[in-house]
Structure 1
Amino acid sequence: MTTRYDACVLAGGLARRLGGRDKPGMRVSGRPLVESVAAAVAGADRLVIVGPSRPGLPRALFRREDPPGGGPIPALRAGMAEVTAPWVALLAADLPFLEAGHVAALLEAVSGEEPAGDREPPAGAVLADDDGREQWLAGVWRTEGLKGALARYEGRSLHGLLAPLSPAVLRLTGRPWFDCDTMDDLRRAREARPGPDDGDAAP
């Protein structure tokens, strides 16, 4: 049975370490990073992107956090208000190596499990980097549980919200968790997957 899910992609950060450039719009493999992420969740019922509207994503539903640039928790609240499927893929907009198979592996790790005895059903699953650190914007979550946790949460960090949910942690090949926070990150991604028209966006 196919697992139904929506995708919530956070694409509204200020990208200070990239000099204020439009990070989701920067190109790797010849296309904007956010379009690569959208392609990895082509199977989602609904694609919700929290950030400014942009071309090239005709099926996306764009929403903005309040205030714009207010951080990941306000962005997540704005995005989750549009999520209706039983599961949600919560993703950053700058994951050049993420593919549909990685998302499928995350869903498979949790959606097929049944709680045993008094054990709670799995809340979700996230990817871990090469050092074993959880990557909170590279995971899938049970929608009901994430919305409930978000309603109770008064902090400002994704770690503070998501770590207490004790998700499964997956280490997958292909570095699907790799994000482009700096120009060095972007250069490494382009070297690994060059495209014909990759180039730096203007600030």
Structure 2
Amino acid sequence: MTAPRGEAPGDGAASEAGARRAFDAIVLAGGRARRLGGASKPDVEVGGVALLDHALAAVVGASHVVVVGPPQVARPGVATVLEDPPDGGPVAGVAAGLDALAADGPDLVVVLACDVPGAARVLPALLAAAEATDVDGARMVGAEGRPQHLVAGYRRASLRAALDRLPAVHGAAMHRLVEGLRLVDVADHEGATVDADTWADVQRLDAALSDRIDP
């Protein structure tokens, strides 16, 4: 995979984890971003780097990466697809991404929303937890105890089976997709999975990233 444009700050942990554990990655970069006034969320910058490029930097160790989003967010050397019909929600995006990956790829598939610029800091722990025996994957759990289904790693066969069980993927909720899956919850103790849903979120994340870079 060609490195994404821009350079997200980090300590290389995600890349080292990718070298140890084979995984594919689906990065979700669609949606209407109504709470951002309809702005192109993947192109919103935190710390001078677009959110999508933060996400691509987090999964730089993946065997294959597919971005699910409109053509205008495409990055050189990175496969980009869009669910059909568009704006089908996260489950439809996951389905489109999984269809675009080779069926015989690595057992583990990371699913990552593009609006979590701190994901690289927790990906190694997530990958390690997802490799536990007798589980279908692992997901991060935020500080408020909310499961982060879109900062998660799923076993490919389990994810495919869960999608096949749904009557329809368009408009389906993520919690419906994962119910019944045996998932390891990985606590996020440092706020790395805070997402950028509003401009206030973007400002807070930008300030927090600046503090990390310039203590």
TM range (shorter): 0.7 to 0.9
- Residues 6 and 85, structure 1, Cα contact 8 Å, conserved in 2: yes
1:169 is the counterpart of 2:166: no
Alignment length (residue pairs): 187
TM-score by length of 2: 0.81
- CA RMSD after TM alignment: 1.8
Unmatched runs of 5 consecutive residues or more in structure 1: 115-120, 196-203
Unaligned runs of at least 5 residues, structure 2: 1-18
Find the partner of 2:124 among 101, 104, 110.
104
Other-structure match for 1:117: none
1:179-203 Cα distance to aligned partner (Å, 9 max, x none)? 11111111111111249xxxxxxxx
Contact 2:143 2:188 in 1 (8 A): no
Does the aligned pair in 2 maintain the 1:15–1:23 contact within 8 Å? yes
Q: How far apart are the structure 1 equivalents of 2:163 and 2:28?
A: 15
Aligned position for 2:156: 143
Where does residue 71 of structure 1 map in the other structure?
Answer: 89
| Counterpart AA for 2:75 | L
DSSP 3-state at the match of 2:112: strand
**Structure 1 CA distance for aligned equivalents of residues 210 and 45 of structure 2:** 9
Alpha-carbon separation, structure 2, partners of 1:5 and 1:124? 12
Q: TM-score, normalised by structure 1?
A: 0.86
Partners of 1:126 and 1:140 within 8 A in 2: yes
Assess if the C-alpha contact under 8 Å between 1:48 and 1:60 holds in 2. Answer: yes
Counterpart residue identity of residue 55, structure 2? V
- How far off its partner does 1:55 sit? 6.4
SS of the residue 2:153 aligns to: strand
Corresponding position of 1:81: 99
Q: Which residue, 8, 17, 29 being the options, matches 1:11?
A: 29
State the secondary structure of the residue aligned to 1:81. Answer: helix
Give 1:88 deviation, angstroms. Answer: 0.6
Aligned residue in 2 for 1:2: 20
Letter in 2 for 1:150: L
**Residues 24-173 of structure 1 mapped to structure 2, 5 A cutoff:** 24-54=42-72, 57-83=75-101, 84-99=105-120, 101-111=121-131, 113-114=132-133, 121-154=134-167, 156-173=172-189
Alpha-carbon offset, residue 160 of structure 1: 0.8
Mapped partners of 2:87, 2:210: distance in 1? 30
> Alpha-carbon deviations, 1:114-150, whole Å to 9, x = none?
3xxxxxx210100011111101110101011101110
For residue 173 of structure 1, report the CA deviation from its aligned partner.
Answer: 3.5
Conservation of the 8 A alpha-carbon contact between 1:102 and 1:176: yes
Hey, what's the Cα distance between the residues in 2 that align with 1:174 and 1:53? 34
CA–CA distance in structure 2, aligned partners of residues 92 and 189 of structure 1: 15
Partner of 1:180: 196
Q: Which residue is equivalent to 1:198?
A: none
Question: Distance in 1 between the 2:27 and 2:73 partners?
Answer: 15
Mean Cα deviation higher: 70-79 or 140-149: 70-79
Shift of 1:2: 2.5
Return the offset for 1:54: 4.5
Structure with greater contact order relative to length (CA < 8 Å, sep ≥ 6): 1
Instruction: Name the SS for the 2:138 alignment partner.
Output: strand
